[in-house]
Chains A and B, each alone.
Chain A
Amino acid sequence: MTTATLEKSPAGGAAVAPAASAPASSGSKAAPTLLIGLDLGTNKSCVLAGAPGSTDITVSKVIPSVVGYVKDGIVDGIIAGNARILYGEEALRQMLHVDLVAPLAQGVISHPGAAREFLQHIRAVADPSGRAEIRAVVGVPANAEEPAREDIRRAAQGAFDRILLIPEPFLAALGYRDDSRIKQPGYVDPVVNSLFIDIGGGTSDLCLVQGYFPTRNDQISIPFAGDAIDELLFEELGRTYPNNGLSRITVRELKEAHAYVGASRKPLDVKVVIGGKGRTLELGDVIGRACNALIDRIYPALTSLISRASSDSVVSLLQNIIVTGGGSQVRGIDTVLQKRLADDGFEAPKVRLAGQDYQRYVAIGALKAARAARENQWQVLLG
């Protein structure tokens, strides 16, 4: 196998070729083309699909990024259709009967086999007929190195026909942009001058978006995000309430329901079922400490990126700091970051949450990019 990028090709890469030299679709009747915008997340992935030349979205799904391999010896009929592999919600529902494998860790592929299966599933979700030529724009963590990108290309072989890998925070900016308002006076286009903080499961990605494609210097990826908070919570709950029996999935659910940053919100009494018995745990301090660790990691990266902005753009940039991804659901994250910036003397900072579509902005941006990509910009996946 050879080639890894459009034109420059380290040995051993996935079988991709420049679009310009790709053969046309085989067969007598050309396959329809389907565009996919994919936010391939560590915990959750969002897939949007639509036809080229339209703005319609035919598929919009958020799928837990997990593959469940059915255990040996499961009685016939327990798993629908006696399937051997389950995906997403279905895999989680059947967790007693499957070995759960997360294809990604910290934003990059950690189990290539599971990643291949998962992307095949994504394809099946987007194109149940299996006939379409699939062109997918896939988000990658900011500053993802070539080996991580190459892993995605390899995993996508056989699932997608053409691919483009674009940093997630930039896609989030594209997705967040309201195209219908770009020409309106007073509308602040996030693609022109903004700073995106995309907090996912595996990584927190920060990116300066200033009207040109962000360079490596404009992006910072931190391997500390939702999963790391889960881990801190899990460890601290184990210390505070030994033998509590809480699974990592329950701990994640507790975090998603109660996460906050800033001053302690004690008491935060949460009822859980341990060993079949209801019990109330006081989680105010535990959750606060774990989540505030996220602020401690993000804030230096945030100020570092602000310092890289030109002096004539930084004032308006400070007005346009946007938090998206699952981490945007941590209560108080916008106000705490804003206050820290103000306390440190930054000029009238304004930190906003992206809003209710926080799980979809990267995929929305990816689908926009797929619709706008020129023919020769796609990488063709061979095989």
Chain B
Amino acid sequence: MRLNGRGTEADRLHSGEFSAAVEALRADSADDPDFSSQLEAQLAAEEERAADAVALAEVLLPMLAEPLGRASQPSGRPAPRPAAAAGPRETPGIADFIDEMLAHERAPRPGPA
């Protein structure tokens, strides 16, 4: 939902129904000392899996888009780096620069070596 720009809705869901469900689970398993850590691990694994899927999609989409003849690029992909001009040329507007910046920020970063 956040990747679709529905951050507020996602936050509401996370702090509302989702948190309530997690709390209910914890309450049901209060006598299991390992349950909480298992739940945390499972949630972290799911979060990582979702992030991996998003990263994979961001890599695959441009590759698929070309053969499919799509003109537009997915918004999450950073704009390709154009070659700098040797002399004056038409430059994009400031808002376009900001778009590029935001695309860079959204792009997955390489993990630590």
Contact = CB atoms under 8 A, between A and B. Distances in A.
B27 interface: no
A170 B92 CA distance: 14
B75 to A, nearest CB: 8
Given A191-B91, A212-B92, A6 B102 contact: yes
Nearest to A371: B94
A22 to B, nearest CB: 7
Nearest to A21: B8
A7 B3 contact: yes
B86 A313 contact: yes
Nearest to A182: B91
A373 B106 CA distance: 17
A289 interface: no
A20 B102 CA distance: 15
A22 B94 CA distance: 23
Given A7-B3, A213-B101, A369 B94 contact: yes
A368 interface: yes
Contact of A166 (B7, B11, B79, B101): B101
- Of A187, A211, A372, most buried by chain B (CB within 10 Å of CB) is A211
B105 interface: yes
B33 interface: no
A372 B106 contact: no
A18 B84 contact: no
B86 A315 contact: yes
B8 A22 contact: yes
A156 B4 CA distance: 25
Contacts of A313: 83-86
A192 B88 contact: yes
A3 B89 contact: no
B2 A312 contact: no
Interface in B36-87: 76, 78-79, 81-87
Contact of B106 (A5, A17, A315): A5
- Of B76, B82, B102, most buried by chain A (CB within 10 Å of CB) is B102
Interface string B1-33: 011111111110011000000000000000000
B84 A211 contact: yes
A316 B89 CA distance: 13
B9 to A, nearest CB: 7
A312 B11 contact: no
Contacts of A310: 83-84
A193 B91 CA distance: 10
A373 B84 contact: no
Contacts of B91: 189, 191-192, 211
A316 to B, nearest CB: 6
Nearest to A212: B82
Nearest to B47: A11
Contact of B7 (A18, A170, A211): A18
B89 A211 contact: yes
B84 A210 contact: yes
A303 interface: no
Interface in A306-335: 309-310, 312-313, 315-317
- Of B93, B94, B100, most buried by chain A (CB within 10 Å of CB) is B94
A7 B106 contact: yes
Contact of B84 (A5, A164, A193, A372): A193
A372 B7 contact: no
Interface of B: 2-11, 14-15, 76, 78-79, 81-89, 91-95, 97-102, 104-106
9 contacts: A6-B102, A8-B3, A9-B2, A16-B7, A21-B6, A21-B8, A310-B83, A312-B86, A313-B83
Closest CB pairs A-B (n = 9): A210-B84, A213-B100, A372-B94, A313-B84, A21-B8, A213-B97, A17-B8, A2-B11, A213-B101
